[in-house]
Each structure stands twice: as C-alpha cells, then as structure tokens.
C-alpha cells in the first residue's frame, strides 16, 4: 500500500473493506515463497496447546507464514518510510489512515479516536465464539525519530536485517499482526474469540492520552498482548519496570552577566545543582535516572532566568516509584529567590514478575507445536502493557519482530524471524485460550 495523502477528519469512524475476492487477489500478488521449514526441536516440559480444534493447524501455519514473509517484510518497510514522530499529528494521521486500510482488508472494523497530537486507532475482528471476552492487543504508531531521519538513514535490507528508523519499534509489530490476520483470512478462519487491537499515537511520550484509551479496554479483556519487540534472543517480556517522565523547571532572575551579575539568580546554575541532588536521591537499588533533555538561558551575557530538564525515571518496584516521585515533589531551591517545580508528564506503573504465568505457558506450548523454542523474561523498558500487567491481568509483551537497537541508529529486525512470528501470532488468535484466571 502507499501512504495516504491526507488524514481522515477528526472524529472519522472508518469501517472500510474490500471484497474477499479483491483481498485474495492482492494477497496472492504480494506473497513470495522464501526460506525453508525450520527444524522442530523437541519441546521439553511443555504441554501442547489445544490445537485439536483446528486439525493440521501447525503445518498449515508454517506453510502460509513462509509465503507471507515477503509481503510482511515489504509492509514493514513501507510503514517505516512513513515518518511518524510523536506529536506530528499530520504524519501520524496519515499513517493511521494507511494502517486502518490494511487492517480493514483483513476483516477489521476500524475506528479513529481523535487526539490533538495524532489520532489513535481501534480495530475489532469478530471471533468464532462472539460470547467470549475479547483478546486485547496493544501497539503504537509513533516513533522517536524526527522527520528527515530517512534522508541519511534509508530503510534497506542488508545481510538478512531490515534497518531504518522505527522498523523495530514498532512498525514491524504492526505489520506482523496484519500478516497474522491476513493468514487466517486466507485459510477461511476467524480468531477463536473477538480481538481488539488498540494502536496509540503517543506511546513514546508515555501515552499521556493513549493510556486512557487502553485503560478503558481492560475491564472486559480475557488477556492482553503487546506488539513491542521481544528481547534480542526472541524471548517474550513477562514483566516491566515502571517509568515516569518528569519535567524539572527552575525559575531564577535575569540580569546583565557583567554589569549586574549580583542582581541575577541563575536558573541554569540552580538546575545543575538540583540535578546533582536528584541523582543522589535516586541512587538506590531499583531506580534509574536518565537526564534526557536540558534547556535554559538565552545568551552568554545574560544570567539565565529559566531552565528545564526532562528526566526519564525507571523503577523496579511500586514502592521505589512512589518514594522517588514524592521526593521530587518536595524539592526546594538551593539559592534564595529561585523556584523549583517538578511536574510528572506521564507515568506507567510497575508490572511485577508473577511466578505463576499461565499465559506464558500457553504461548510456549503454541510455539512448541510450531517447532519454536520460546521463553520469557522481565524487561527493563516500560510500555502500555505495564497498565494491564500492574493490575494483575494475564499479560505478555514482546510479540513483535525479533531484532535489536530500538531508539538507536543500528535499529533493525531479522527478516528470517518474520515467518515464525507470523505463525505464532496467527496461532494465538486461532487457538482457544486456557483458563487464565477465575473470571476469564
């Protein structure tokens, strides 16, 4: 598909679709047979999922996923070529239009949720059993890369790796789930239960608006899956640290730096000293600080009247998060006349490790049936799945593409791992979930 030239108007609700014959023709035209059937290692200590409901499913998924690999690789590259930095509403809306058209072609009802900084998307696919609670899948279409990055870092494939801004985080995840639904549609299958996919436009800022949209979907969800990239070895993410984004603002008093320096109060000097103090406050197990952005002052011959720092904080426990944010809220100025204020811009709760994880067992069993060895481990970064995991809902993240280098110039995905991920996602959609909690 090509990028849309204009975004849908605010409040636009979209339920576009093509005929089944058109969709099959398109899919046939863009698939390619690549790769070999991977060896199937024996699964040790893993009970197989209930694939009996769909006889021959593992072999069929293998075959179909291999033929779709090329199409998904191309789709990921095309999406990455639509630059979509957080906050650029025009570009985010253009990408939302393109994504919505792709998901609608696989049978989804697509809804745009207006947001000033870029529209969010909600997609719904019907299930074979509409009486069941829906499976919730979450993703995002914003990236950390500014417009113009493609000029000196184009999307290209080298040595089995597709590289470019946003390919891993997370254009590939969005392409993979589209491929999984396309695979099921080609088989004439629907997901076992209804599926809702929420794609937010502000995840890279901590989802200040998107979080509310995700939270509204949680009460009725059977389980929550995230399309963020997995660990570099392909392992899923079973827990995440909490995170908070805090703006530290210092107000001083401007003065001529030569003639009247004593009359001024340097906001820059105060901010520097406050950052040293803050680093001492957070220097404790389970807490990390990144001073991501610092601004202040106007000219070298003017005592700075204002300075700001944007801090990224990560926490291993809810207690560490509460303690640190409380300490920041009670900061006081070190210089007479200066003012210091800490403002929490966005915050995600800690998603703690849970020893009993029936959802991970289920996914591991599906992977084993597909000939894949798969495990899970906690992750250092935060994401929208924190919201569900912190509430104790059955949650897994890392179902996006295997690769490395998110937010870095070596960001890439491994194209040889696309087919296994397509097959796994399709199996997760098609195979009944086991009982994950008392009310599932």
Q: What is the pLDDT of residues 98-129, one digit of tens each?
A: 999 999 999 999 999 999 999 999 999 999 99
Is 25 strand, coil or helix? helix
What is the Cα–Cα distance from 208 to 201, expressed in whole angstroms?
10
Q: What is the pLDDT of residue 55?
A: 57
Q: Give all domains of the chain, ordered by start, each with its CATH number.
A: 13-240+352-430 (3.40.630.10), 242-348 (3.30.70.360)
Token reading at 255:
């003065």
User: Residue 195 is inside which H or E element, if any?
Assistant: strand 195-200
Q: What is the pLDDT of residue 392?
A: 94
Find out whether 440 and 433 touch, Cβ atoms under 8 Å.
yes
pTM over the 0.75 mark: yes
| Catalytic positions | 142, 203
Find out whether 88 and 174 touch, Cβ atoms under 8 Å.
no
Strand partners, 237: 377, 397
What is the Cα–Cα distance from 378 to 406, expressed in whole angstroms?
17
Q: What is the pLDDT of residues 123-161, one digit of tens each?
A: 999 999 999 999 999 999 999 999 999 999 999 999 999
Q: For residue 349, give the DSSP letter.
A: -
Q: Which of 436, 432, 430 is nearest to 61 (CA)?
A: 430
Q: What is the pLDDT along the chain (440 residues), one digit of tens a residue?
A: 333 333 333 333 333 333 333 333 333 333 332 222 333 333 333 444 665 555 578 889 989 999 999 999 999 999 999 999 999 999 999 999 999 999 999 999 999 999 999 999 999 999 999 999 999 999 999 999 999 999 999 999 999 999 999 999 999 999 999 999 999 999 999 999 999 999 999 999 999 999 999 999 999 999 999 999 999 999 999 999 999 999 999 999 999 999 999 999 999 999 999 999 999 999 988 899 999 999 999 999 999 999 999 999 999 999 999 999 999 999 999 999 999 999 999 999 999 998 889 999 999 999 999 999 999 999 999 999 999 999 999 999 999 999 999 999 999 999 999 999 999 999 999 999 999 975 44
Find out whether 398 and 377 touch, Cβ atoms under 8 Å.
no
321 backbone dihedrals φ, ψ, rounded to 5°: -65, -45
Strand partners, 295: 308
What is the Cα–Cα distance from 117 to 205, expressed in whole angstroms?
11
Q: What is the pLDDT of residue 30?
A: 35
């Amino acid at each position: 598909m090509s990028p849309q030239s204009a975004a849908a108007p605010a409040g636009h609700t979209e339920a576009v679709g093509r005929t089944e014959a058109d969709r099959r023709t398109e899919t046939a035209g863009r698939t390619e047979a690549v790769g070999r059937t991977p060896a199937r290692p024996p699964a040790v200590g893993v009970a197989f999922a209930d694939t009996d409901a769909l006889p021959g499913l593992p072999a069929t998924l293998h075959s179909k996923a291999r033929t779709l690999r090329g199409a998904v690789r191309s789709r990921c590259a095309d999406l990455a070529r639509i630059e979509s930095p957080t906050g650029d509403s025009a570009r985010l809306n253009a990408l939302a239009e393109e994504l919505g058209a792709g998901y609608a072609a696989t049978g989804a009802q697509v809804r745009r949720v207006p947001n000033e900084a870029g529209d969010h998307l909600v997609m719904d696919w019907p299930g074979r059993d509409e009486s069941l609670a829906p499976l919730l899948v979450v993703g995002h279409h914003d990236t950390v890369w500014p417009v113009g990055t493609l000029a000196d870092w184009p999307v290209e494939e080298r040595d089995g790796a597709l590289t470019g801004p946003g390919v891993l985080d997370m254009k590939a995840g969005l392409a993979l789930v589209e491929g999984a639904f396309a695979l099921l549609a080609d088989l004439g299958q629907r997901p076992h239960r209804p599926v809702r996919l929420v794609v937010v436009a502000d995840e890279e800022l901590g989802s200040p608006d998107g979080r509310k949209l995700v939270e509204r979907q949680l009460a009725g969800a059977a389980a929550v899956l995230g399309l963020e990239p997995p660990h570099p070895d392909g392992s899923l993410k079973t827990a995440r640290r909490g995170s908070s984004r805090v703006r530290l603002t210092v107000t001083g008093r401007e003065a001529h730096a030569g003639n009247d320096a004593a009359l001024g109060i340097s906001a820059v000097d105060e901010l520097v000293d406050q950052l040293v103090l803050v680093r001492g406050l957070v220097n404790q197990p389970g807490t990390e600080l990144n001073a991501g952005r610092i601004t202040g002052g106007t000219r070298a011959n003017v005592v700075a009247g204002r300075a700001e720092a944007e801090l990224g904080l990560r926490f291993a426990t809810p207690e560490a998060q509460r303690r640190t944010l409380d300490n920041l809220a009670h900061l006081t100025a070190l210089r007479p006349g200066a003012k210091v204020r800490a403002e929490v811009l966005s915050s995600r709760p800690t998603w703690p490790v849970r020893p009993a994880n029936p959802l991970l067992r289920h996914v591991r069993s599906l992977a084993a049936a597909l000939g894949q060895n798969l495990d899970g481990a906690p992750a250092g970064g935060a994401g929208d799945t924190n919201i569900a995991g912190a509430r104790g809902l059955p949650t897994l993240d890392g179902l996006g593409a295997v690769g490395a280098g998110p937010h870095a110039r070596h960001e890439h995905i491994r194209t040889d791992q696309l087919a296994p991920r397509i097959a796994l996602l399709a199996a997760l959609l098609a195979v009944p979930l086991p009982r994950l909690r008392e009310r599932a």
